[in-house]
Structure 1
Amino acid sequence: MAIHKLILDDDFAEAEYTLIAIHCNIEDYRLAYLLNKHLGLSLTRKKSDLKFNKGTITYPIYNWDDEKQQVSWHLVSNICKTETDQDADINSLFDYTQKVVKTTFLLPEHKSVNYFLKIDFEFSSNKQKLLLNNILKISQIATAYSVSASQIKTKEHLIFS
């Protein structure tokens, strides 16, 4: 009796997507509006945010499924600020708590990035440059650039489904 082995290549597991880092200081809803206006998208906020650590860390996420091109677009914040109460010094005369703001990042290796635009399609270099140029035309965006998948250590954070 013959034994058959099935060998899967590593390429099979790697998803194809384009990831664009966006640096700007505007609110997420405003950025989604500007991207919709300048790129002809229809990004809308999802009913539930992207949640980690049992829901204590949340990142707002916007998406649009372009059924004509069969491409999904996702805009997600890279920064989550949570406020917690911390007891003051034990040796203090008075009991009080102070508010501590903790900042966590969706992709910690890119702490300076405010937002990521993930497109579930791998564009050619010319189309990617055209897309980046259109994003950079938005005056509220300081800079935007493409991020290679090899630069990302926490790829599992980019799975939005």
Structure 2
Amino acid sequence: MPNHKLSLDEAEQNYYIVAIHSILEAYSLAFILNKDLGLSFFRHEFNVSFSNTNEFYMAYKNNEDKNNPLIYFFSNSFNVSKSEASTSSLFKFNDYKKALVPELSKADYIMKYFGRKNDLPGFIKSVSLLKGVSSCYEYSTFKLRLKENLIFD
């Protein structure tokens, strides 16, 4: 009996990554995406979180229908504030930012787009024209080192 093997390319290329730079809060951007692009994002019941740290990243999900593909939209940054006792002042706070997708640490939001490749450029252009969005672009899934961070649901 012959062995059947699944190609890694087939398993990994069923979604596309879209990076978004925006000054808007996640809920505001989700509202604008719903209003202006006719999508139906809602807050996902689970945040993206990790058990070994207290980081969490807000997640939104678009209802899939015949006109709109399945899309996940989540924040890419988490601000960490650590306090340390200091002799010169009462407390010293060290703030730093952690990214869900380290390769896109400057991006504010990440979308995981499950639509057709042919529809992606039009979708990216529509998102980039929204008020409050400074830029929007596709990022190759083959460049991602931590694909596990994007597996949830």
TM-score by length of 1: 0.83
Aligned to 1:130: 122
1:111-143 Cα offsets, whole Å, 9 max, x none, are 11110111123422xx22211121122121101
**Residue pair 1:86, 1:98 contacting (<8 A) in 2 also:** yes
Alpha-carbon distance in structure 1 between the residues aligned to 2:116 and 2:65: 16
- What one-letter code is carried by the residue in structure 2 that aligns with 1:147? Y
Deviation for aligned residue 1:38: 1.8
The alpha-carbon deviation at position 12 of structure 1 amounts to 4.2
The match for 2:6 among 5, 8, 32 is 8
What is the TM-score with the length of structure 2 in the denominator?
Answer: 0.87
SS at match of 1:16: coil
Map Cα deviations across residues 88-123 of structure 1 (whole Å, 9 max, x no partner).
Answer: 2xxx377x3322222100111111111011112342
Q: Is residue 105 of structure 2 the alignment partner of residue 107 of structure 1?
A: no
Q: Which runs of 5+ in 1 are unaligned?
A: none
CA RMSD of aligned residues (A): 2.1
Q: Which has the larger radius of gyration?
A: 1
Give the Å deviation of 1:160.
2.0
Contact residue 18 and residue 122 of structure 1 kept, 8 A: no
Task: Identify the match of residue 60 of structure 1 among 58, 62, 69.
Answer: 58
What is the aligned length?
Answer: 153
Runs of 5+ unmatched residues, structure 2: none
Find out whether 1:152 has 2:144 as its counterpart: yes
